[in-house]
Amino acid sequence: MVIITTINEAWAEPGSILDLFLESFWSGDGTQELVRHLVIVSLDQKAHQYCQAVHPHCYALTTPGVSFTGTPATFKSDEFMLMVWRRMEFYTSVLKLGIDFVFTDVDIVWFRNPFPHFHEDADFQIACDIYTGDDSELHYNSMNGGFGFVRSNDRARRFFQHWHDSRERFPGMHEQDVLNKIKDEPFIDEIGLRVKVLDTDHFGGICQPIKDLNVGCTMHATCCIGMESKIRALTAVLQDWKHFSSSPPESRNSTSFVWKPERTGCWM
């Protein structure tokens, strides 16, 4: 069991999103045991130094001639594109080592162990922004590349290599947009890849939040633009979770709990 997240300096400092991410593991329901399976991949030296100060499993992923140190890369900027495609290349190399893994953006808080809610019959399963209600429907479910689980087998390795290589056919697109392009192509059927979309009842986001925290596993800061917005949103979500989890069992039902969107500063 391996869980992978990636950071650069902007995501890794005191009071940063990385701190909220790690805090969620320690305050979650049964997530403390997952910390030892978490590998934080740092894209620059300062991020790596901070990681080593707060977590035992850090991996420095260097890119010759490129530095990702500094402020957050603007969405779809050249630096952002380099970061996401470097991450995709890394994921592909991990699969080639024969390792199954969960990939998670760092702007996600974890409430409970997600493994019991993954599909047994899928090679590749991935979160979505808005869920249609059908976990096999690939076209209308808008896949989100920030969270998923992949099993290392020949089908998954071939698909991830194809996903990475497809960036050449869709210049200027980041990995999530490319995924949503190639998911309708015949290649998936040709290699027999078994794909499932994760529902937002268990794997939600600010775009479509979890309705019942008795079953919810993760919450992603989707629909939040900018670092400050994400920190504000995830801080509010963690506060709501702590209030919920410390409440008497009889008060923890799906109808009594309501997210407070005005506290997040994001769309809901």
Edge-to-edge strand ranges of the sheet holding 218-220:
108-110, 218-220, 203-205
The model's confidence at residue 163, banded by pLDDT at 50, 70 and 90, is: very high
Q: Summarize the confidence of residues 203-214 as an average pLDDT.
A: 92
Say how far apart CA 40 and CA 165 lie, in whole Å: 25
The model's confidence at residue 265, banded by pLDDT at 50, 70 and 90, is: low
Q: pTM of the prediction?
A: 0.92
Segment 108-149, tens digit of pLDDT = 999 999 999 999 999 999 999 999 999 999 999 999 999 999
Least confident of 35-39, 64-68, 203-207: 64-68
Q: Summarize the confidence of residues 227-251 as an average pLDDT.
A: 90
Quick one: how far is CA 29 from the chain centroid?
19
Q: Summarize the confidence of residues 93-106 as an average pLDDT.
A: 97
